[in-house]
Amino acid sequence: MNVYKDLAETIGNTPLIRLRALSEATGCEILGKAEFMNPGQSVKDRAALYIIRDAIARGDLKPGGTIVEGTAGNTGIGLALVGASMGFKTVIVIPETQSQEKKDMLRLAGADLVQVPAAPYKNPNNYVRYSERLAAELAKTEPNGAIWANQFDNIANRQAHIEMTGPEIWTQTGGKVDGFICAVGTGGTLAGVGMALQPKGVSIGLADPEGSAIHSFYTTGEFKADGGSITEGIGQGRETANLKGFRPDHSFKIPDTEALPIVFDVLAHEGLCLGGSSGINMAGAVRMARAMGPGHTIVTILCDYGTRYQSKLFNPAFLREKGLPVPTWLEGVGAELP
What is the distance between the alpha carbons of residues 17 and 33, in angstroms, rounded to a whole number? 6
What is the distance between the alpha carbons of residues 122 and 77, in angstroms, rounded to a whole number? 25
Among residues 230, 262, 303, 330, the one that binds ligand PMP under rule CB under 6 A: 303
Per-position x/- string for 215-244, each x denoting binding to ligand PMP as judged by CB under 6 A, each - no binding: -----------------xxx----------
Which residues, numbered 43-62, are part of the site for ligand PMP (CB under 6 A)?
43-44
The set of residues, in sequence order, having a beta carbon less than 8 Å from that of 122 and lying 6+ positions away, is: none
What H or E segment, with its residue span, contains residue 70?
strand 66-70
Give the interface size with ligand PMP as a residue count (CB under 6 A): 20
Among residues 186, 203, 310, 315, the one that binds ligand PMP under rule CB under 6 A: 186
| Known active-site residue 44 | yes
How near is the Cβ of 240 to ligand PMP at its closest, in Å? Answer: 9
Among residues 41, 74, 159, 300, the one that binds ligand PMP under rule CB under 6 A: 74
What H or E segment, with its residue span, contains residue 45?
helix 44-58
Chain CA centroid to CA 124, Å: 24
What is the distance between the alpha carbons of residues 270 and 266, in angstroms, rounded to a whole number? 5
Catalytic residue among 5, 33, 44, 244: 44
Among residues 19, 30, 34, 72, the one that binds ligand PMP under rule CB under 6 A: 72
How near is the Cβ of 83 to ligand PMP at its closest, in Å? Answer: 17
Per residue, the 3-state secondary structure of 182-202, as one string, reads: ECCCCCHHHHHHHHHHHHHCC
Q: Does 128 bind ligand PMP (CB under 6 A)?
A: no
What is the distance between the alpha carbons of residues 283 and 170, in angstroms, rounded to a whole number? 22
Residue closest to ligand PMP, measured at CB: 233
List contacts with ligand PMP (CB under 6 A): 42-44, 72, 74, 183-190, 232-234, 275, 277, 303-304
**Which residues are marked as active site?**
44
